[in-house]
Amino acid sequence: MSDRQFFELQGRTIEFAAEGKGPALALVVDQGADLDALATLSHLVSQADFRIVRIQTHNAEDVFDILDHLDIASAWIGGHGRGGVTARAAAAAHHERVNGVLLLGVEAHATALPEGIPVLVVQASDDDVTPPANGEALQNSAPGLVSIVTVEGAGHRFPETHAGETAWAIEDYLDWD
């Protein structure tokens, strides 16, 4: 697994971890969660020859500051729960550098999705924080661009408790394996 790193920029410290090689996926952890919350999922997905960057932030600009620091020109941008809100804001601000958006659960109120960018929603059937209805509403707002995979029997922490199923859904959608 990857080691935590710290990047200092304009008086703030951004914590991140990166592993793997190949096309990039930046994942923002959920508000209140530790950077390690997505470690197992990240490790599993990185085994499919992709570079996974986990970021602990609530600032959309931090996502691209880290990608710039790592010399990554474009990436899929995603996040879990409130991390998905940050990912959506980052994607909207820098849509020209975003290959797609990955939302691990969908918050009800967030920045609109950038037009024309594909979105994968992986959600849990028993999530009471970001319920499946939120993902379905997002899909209805952008038919043809938003795809949904539901992890049955899982709750809000599904990227941790069902990391294998979640990784498989991501790899299958992006055809990374």
Q: For the chain, what is the HEC assignment?
A: CCCCEEEEECCEEEEEEEECCCCEEEEECCCCCCHHHHHHHHHHHHCCCCEEEEEECCCHHHHHHHHHHCCCCCEEEEEECHHHHHHHHHHHHCHHHEEEEEEECCCCCCCCCCCCCCEEEEEECCCCCCCHHHHHHHHHHCCCCEEEEEECCCCCCHHHHCHHHHHHHHHHHHCCC
What's the mean per-residue pLDDT of the chain?
A: 93
> Residue 3's pLDDT band (boundaries 50, 70, 90)?
confident
Q: Which residue has the higher pLDDT, 26 or 31?
A: 26
Please give the pLDDT value at position 177: 38
Structural domains of the chain sorted by starting position, each given as residue range(s) with its CATH number in brackets: 5-174 (3.40.50.1820)
Arithmetic mean of pLDDT, 159-170: 97
Arithmetic mean of pLDDT, 106-117: 89
> Residue 89's pLDDT band (boundaries 50, 70, 90)?
very high
